[in-house]
């Protein structure tokens, strides 16, 4: 099996490439290197390109044919909720065109299996505490979530006419690290943002403490990136089945953790006695988002192995292993 991974040099993509290599699969990566690093993909062949650009569908088809690709895992996309609110048209152009070109490439080659990196942002503000995949209505509240839901619709529409086997993995909040060299390279997610503020000698920020949640901060379902990588391997195996009841799966733990609880866990793991600062809410953030993993548990046999402590501890270990990021804890305490 040869698997093409779009966005394979990024944080999640590189962990999945690592897991694919560990399972003995041949991997080809397409990435524009806007966030990722080519050193992270363990010798997989890399094609540098922006998959949202004109003509990318034809080029992807050529790559898939030349490399004898039979499966695609599609990560490459813009993924910042707040940025999508500020730049909606750009997000539509980047993410929807990217999916269009991936599907076009598949129709011009023998690639017939697609695992799509979707998101819990497709749910918007759901009417239940723990969200199943078939919750209604699904109304994303930001352009990022809209592009992910539309991507699912696009792939689903191509199943019958083009013989594409498709499933979407709706991630909840991905965090943590596997091998330390695969740490999150972008300071865009909560835990790296907390570490980055500490590195700069600034108080970590909590965006809003007036949400309708137990402690006033947003509640999320945090999933370890290594668990998420395993879910992609399970999804590829699932697509080999002749009978598949579902094509959308939550990837989460079913447990909610507030931003304040993450901050407290960071204090415990790092040993740094910082005091966080409350900042205004970010646009497009729902107060509460937890996913039911029952469907993926039952259909794929996948279960999360790691909890919040493991997530923060592994992220801190990777952060401290990077000379550019390393925080001298003793010096930090003295300055404080």
Which residues are known catalytic residues?
A: 144
In total, the chain counts a number of residues equal to 336
Using the Cα atoms of residue 331, residue 324, residue 320 and residue 193 in order, give the sign of their dihedral: positive
Cα separation values, 297 from 166, 184, 245, Å: 18, 27, 14
Can you tell me the distance from the alpha carbon of 133 to that of 123, in angstroms, rounded to the nearest whole number? Answer: 9
Tokens 């879910």 appear where?
231
3-state helix, strand and coil shares in percent for the chain, rounded to the nearest 5 = 45, 20, 40
Token pair in block for residue 252? 């989460």
Can you tell me the distance from the alpha carbon of 115 to that of 233, in angstroms, rounded to the nearest whole number? Answer: 10
Pairing of strands 26-31, 45-48: parallel
Phi, psi of 38 (to 5 degrees): -65, -20
Shortest CA distance to 98 belongs to which of 30, 61, 51, 49?
51
Can you tell me the distance from the alpha carbon of 200 to that of 204, in angstroms, rounded to the nearest whole number? Answer: 10
3-state secondary structure 111-167: CCEEEEEEEHHHHECCCCCEECCCCCCCECCCHHHHHHHHHHHHHHHCHHHHCCEEE
Shortest CA distance to 286 belongs to which of 186, 173, 134?
173
Shortest CA distance to 195 belongs to which of 203, 129, 229?
203
């Amino acid at each position: 099996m040869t698997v093409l991974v779009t966005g394979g040099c990024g944080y999640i993509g590189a962990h999945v490439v690592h897991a694919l290599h560990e399972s003995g699969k041949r991997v080809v990566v397409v990435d524009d290197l806007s966030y990722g690093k080519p050193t992270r993909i363990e010798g997989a062949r890399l094609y540098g390109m922006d998959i949202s650009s004109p003509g990318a569908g034809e080029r992807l088809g050529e790559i898939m044919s030349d490399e004898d690709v039979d499966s695609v895992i599609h990560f490459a996309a813009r993924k910042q909720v707040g940025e999508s609110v500020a730049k909606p048209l750009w997000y539509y152009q980047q993410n929807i065109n990217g999916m269009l070109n991936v599907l076009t490439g598949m129709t011009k080659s023998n690639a017939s299996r697609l695992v799509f990196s979707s998101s819990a942002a497709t749910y918007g503000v759901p009417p239940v505490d723990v969200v199943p995949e078939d919750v209604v209505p699904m109304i994303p509240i930001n352009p990022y979530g809209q592009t992910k839901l539309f991507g699912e619709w696009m792939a689903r529409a191509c199943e019958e006419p083009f013989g594409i086997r498709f499933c979407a993995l709706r991630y909840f909040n991905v965090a943590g690290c596997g091998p330390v060299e695969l740490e999150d390279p972008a300071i865009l997610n909560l835990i790296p943002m907390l570490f980055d503020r500490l590195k700069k000698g600034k108080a970590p920020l909590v965006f809003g403490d007036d949400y309708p949640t137990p402690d006033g901060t947003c509640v999320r379902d945090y999933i370890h990136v290594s668990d998420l990588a395993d879910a992609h391997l399970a999804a590829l195996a699932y697509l080999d089945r002749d009978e598949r009841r579902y094509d959308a799966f939550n990837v989460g733990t079913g447990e909610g953790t507030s931003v304040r609880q993450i901050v407290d866990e960071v204090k415990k793991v790092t040993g740094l006695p910082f005091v966080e600062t409350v900042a205004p809410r970010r646009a497009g953030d729902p107060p509460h988002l937890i996913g039911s993993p029952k469907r993926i548990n039952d259909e794929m046999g996948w279960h999360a192995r790691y909890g919040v402590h493991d997530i923060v501890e592994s992220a801190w270990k990777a952060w401290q292993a990077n000379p550019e990021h390393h925080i001298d804890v003793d010096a930090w305490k003295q300055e404080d």
